[in-house]
Structure 1
Amino acid sequence: REVVMRVLLQGSSSLARAVRSRPALRFSGSAGSRSEAGPVAQYERMVAARELEDDVHQRAALGKLEALFHIILDSGYAPPPPAQVQDPRDSPKSGMVETVAEWARGFGLALGGGSEHPSGVGGAQVSTFGAPKEESQGSIFFSWGSGDSASSASAAGDLCRPPPGAPQGVYLYGGVGSGKTFMMDLFYSCIPVEKKRRVHFNSFMLDVHSRLHQLRAREARQDGIEPLEVVVRELLEEAWLICFDEFQVTDIADAMILKTLFTSLLEKGAVVIATSNRPPEDLYKNGIQRDLFLPFIHLLESNLLVHSIAASSTDYRLLKGADAAEDTYFDSQDVEQRECFDALFQRLSKSSQTQALTLRTQGREVQIPRASLSTRVARFSFLELCGKAVGAADYIAIGSAFPTVFIEDIPRLTLKDLNQIRRFIVLIDTLYEAGVKVICLAAAKPHVLFVPPGG
């Protein structure tokens, strides 16, 4: 219940903001020392300029990123070309084993793409037949004689062998609005690495699944290499320093490939930074076949420096969004405020004719019931966005197409509405990440939108 409430508050803080704003961060190429160009120095300059409030918890977390900053620069680290890294998993399978394994993976389970799977990947292929042994243990298809897969979790993490000199990444977790994303972005803006990527975790996994789908559609294999290994090589050719925002796992299709995906990334020299609201041990909690996911948790804990900033109780996004909320959050129970909501939609759409549209993305069609093409403003009811099988891929498409989104008739929510709550969380998180201006008409203020049991 507390987790749901915290994330709803996270969403409400971003809903209340007229436009998402982040400080302009630039790397200085002057002849000063690296310490003066690092994230801590940038932070101190912003505190001195009163752009930020000094926070001891943020400083402690930023110190971990500062250390990584200097390790990368002082060592001149760069991973070897991915194709030159020999991996025993690259050896081709042969004959009947490969044929049957491909059939089993293609058969898979028809999961994903619905309310329970917010990454929006339809028809997930999650059979583990033919996968490495540590991933196939406990499979619902081939679990006999495998032993206790949970007990193998710790041993599985030791199988990851990063190249010599590869810096250890960082996993930051803590309460919403505590500054995790800001600190990661500060590091990202300061580090003078050409091949770097900053990406929302949902978007990254959608990209991975899309690449896998394209490879399988073309039946493309490179010298017998597994499709996921081909994707890893492509990713590392583009960026070896990868910063993930909002690291979370809610989709079984993601959960079943993460161990192999991240093992390969780390063994080929990737440096990973991640922010999350959850500690690693709480990822994919209560998920389907979670015992198969446990080795990935150990992989994170063994190969990334895990740091908690949970002690910071200040939600800076709520503070910044307080004033803006007056213009973006309306009470649906108040006739006058409902009229103001409608009037604002008319003003921002410049009273142009609205129409229904269809967006096409990832092989899916996203219905937009009301939109102004001239001003790129869209309007939805809560049920249109959260009351049916809509996922992150759909929300990403909406956020990419429309800088302003109106959401009306948001009800008070209880634990009976868990699927709608999950979709709402993913929706707000995705629109926030895209910098979308969100205007809401809701049945209650953000902090009381969720009704706890007995409340």
Structure 2
Amino acid sequence: MSLMEKYDLAVKSKDIQDDLSQRKVVVELDKLNTNLNNLNSWFSFTKSSSINGLYIMGPVGVGKTYLMDLFYNNLALKKKARFHFHHFMQQIDKKLRELQGHSDPIIKVVQLLAKKVKILCLDEFLINDVAYAMIMAQLLKALFQQKITLVVTTNTAVDELYLDGVGRERFLGAIELIKKNCELIRLHGGHDYRVGRGHSLQSYLFPLNNENNKTLEDQFKLISKDEKASGEICILNRPIPFVKSGNNSIWFEFGEICDMPRCQLDYLEIANYFDTIFISNIPVLDKKDTVKTLLFMHFVDVAYDRGIRLVLSAEVPHEKLYSQGELFKQFARTVSRLEEMQSEDYIKRHAYLGVNRSNFC
């Protein structure tokens, strides 16, 4: 069954809304799927192409992640991997540290990856870290030299990647490599399909008051077995206090998870152990709270990518959590994802992600 036929079935079953812009992307993904399935055929040796991937860009909530996952889950090719971009870069960083002293560590890391992966899907491609920006050209060059096909989703037009970043001139080579090797596809859409889905779950509670705190308590008791009172969990050899924990669920205070020295590795590790995470007492974030805001964005991204259910209590509605500051534009994705994560659709659609996590280390 082709990818377009799968898409038609999803529309017919009302899992998604039909969208012409999405259909255009599905056509390109279908072509790539066919080419990848012919990788080992005689035909593949008779055909050459300068296109080594797809760069799918568009605003938040228009279905980029859904379409990439539809493509990934229907690939017959076994040598495939799918990551959230930040998770992928964390693994690259880990391998580079292991190879310190090697003459060409990036090439070596990609060679190791190429033994297991021929198609690499990266969700939410975003460069806002100077360390990642400085190695991106080398990394992309190595990926394409190793004949790894790249499919990325992003909110950012390729020429605007790492815009105004420190040392951007060293990043420009990465932009040229993307343009040379990837087909650039824009997914249009004035409507955020995450907004307006059924909200039968009380997953985002505001304001902060006794009534909502009791609701939080009741919901935790409802879904948690072997409930344990306050304590600490050890994540990457560091203790993190929690309010309560259960067999597959845990409850943190916002201050402990986003207002302390944390990183994405912490969140990725937590996501390996729990499928439901409660966060209480989320305050209004202002322009002085850049670090807290960025950590919260990373936390939501990891939870979304792993299909984790979040239950949150906050001072204000999610669309008013962060209304000004340098991350305001990027925070729109977080708002959109929080909206979707309150719905039954999110839980159903992301249920498979718990057993679909890539790792090449």
Q: Give the TM-score band, short-chain normalised.
A: 0.7 to 0.9
Q: After TM superposition, list the pairs within 5 Å mapping 1:10-409 onto structure 2.
A: 37-74=1-38, 76=40, 165=49, 167-216=51-100, 221=102, 225-309=103-187, 311-320=188-197, 322-324=198-200, 326-350=201-225, 352-361=227-236, 365=238, 367-372=240-245, 374-409=246-281
The offset of 1:174, in angstroms, is 1.0
Structure 2 residues not aligned, in runs of 5+:
326-361
* Equivalent residue letter for 1:213: R
The offset of 1:246, in angstroms, is 1.2
Contact 1:358 1:367 in 2 (8 A): yes
Larger Rg: 1
Partner of 2:348: none
Contact 2:235 2:270 in 1 (8 A): no
- Residue by residue, what CA displacement relative to the aligned partner does 1:410-430 show, whole Å, maximum 9, x if unpaired? 112222222222111111011
Contact 1:332 1:409 in 2 (8 A): no
Contact 1:171 1:274 in 2 (8 A): yes
Structure 1 residues not aligned, in runs of 5+:
1-36, 81-162
- Residue by residue, what CA displacement relative to the aligned partner does 1:305-343 show, whole Å, maximum 9, x if unpaired? 11111x3122222333x414x411111334312221122
Question: CA–CA distance in 2 between the matches of 1:275 and 1:193?
Answer: 20
Aligned residue pair count = 322
- SS of 2:121's equivalent in the other structure is strand
Question: CA–CA distance in 2 between the matches of 1:75 and 1:342?
Answer: 53
- Identify the match of residue 427 of structure 1 among 282, 299, 316: 299
Contact 2:52 2:144 in 1 (8 A): no
Contact 1:166 1:271 in 2 (8 A): no
Question: CA–CA distance in 2 between the matches of 1:70 and 1:40?
Answer: 12
Question: CA–CA distance in 2 between the matches of 1:331 and 1:351?
Answer: 27
Question: CA–CA distance in 2 between the matches of 1:351 and 1:441?
Answer: 23
Question: CA–CA distance in 2 between the matches of 1:54 and 1:77?
Answer: 34
- Residue by residue, what CA displacement relative to the aligned partner does 1:74-127 show, whole Å, maximum 9, x if unpaired? 56479x9xxxxxxxxxxxxxxxxxxxxxxxxxxxxxxxxxxxxxxxxxxxxxxx
Change (3 A) 1:351 1:332: farther
Change (3 A) 1:67 1:353: closer
- Residue by residue, what CA displacement relative to the aligned partner does 1:28-71 show, whole Å, maximum 9, x if unpaired? xxxxxxxxx22112101222233321111111121221222233
The offset of 1:371, in angstroms, is 4.1
Contact 1:169 1:273 in 2 (8 A): yes
Contact 1:366 1:394 in 2 (8 A): no
The offset of 1:405, in angstroms, is 0.9
Question: CA–CA distance in 2 between the matches of 1:329 and 1:317?
Answer: 15
Identity of aligned residues (%): 27
Contact 1:281 1:297 in 2 (8 A): yes
Q: Compute the RMSD of aligned alpha carbons.
A: 2.4
- Residue by residue, what CA displacement relative to the aligned partner does 1:352-390 show, whole Å, maximum 9, x if unpaired? 3324233343xx535243342x52322212222221221
* Equivalent residue letter for 1:170: L
Question: CA–CA distance in 2 between the matches of 1:403 and 1:367?
Answer: 17
- Residue by residue, what CA displacement relative to the aligned partner does 1:276-322 show, whole Å, maximum 9, x if unpaired? 1111222223322222112111211221111111x3122222333x4
Change (3 A) 1:235 1:366: farther
* Equivalent residue letter for 2:171: F
Question: CA–CA distance in 2 between the matches of 1:235 and 1:215?
Answer: 14
Q: TM-score w.r.t. structure 1 length?
A: 0.66
- SS of 2:266's equivalent in the other structure is helix
The offset of 1:199, in angstroms, is 1.3
Q: TM-score w.r.t. structure 2 length?
A: 0.82
Change (3 A) 1:52 1:417: same
Question: CA–CA distance in 2 between the matches of 1:284 and 1:388?
Answer: 26
Contact 2:241 2:256 in 1 (8 A): no
Question: CA–CA distance in 2 between the matches of 1:68 and 1:352?
Answer: 48
Change (3 A) 1:69 1:393: same
Question: CA–CA distance in 1 between the matches of 2:68 and 2:319?
Answer: 27
- SS of 2:233's equivalent in the other structure is strand
Question: CA–CA distance in 1 between the matches of 2:22 and 2:235?
Answer: 41
Contact 2:123 2:152 in 1 (8 A): yes
The offset of 1:185, in angstroms, is 1.2
Contact 1:371 1:379 in 2 (8 A): yes
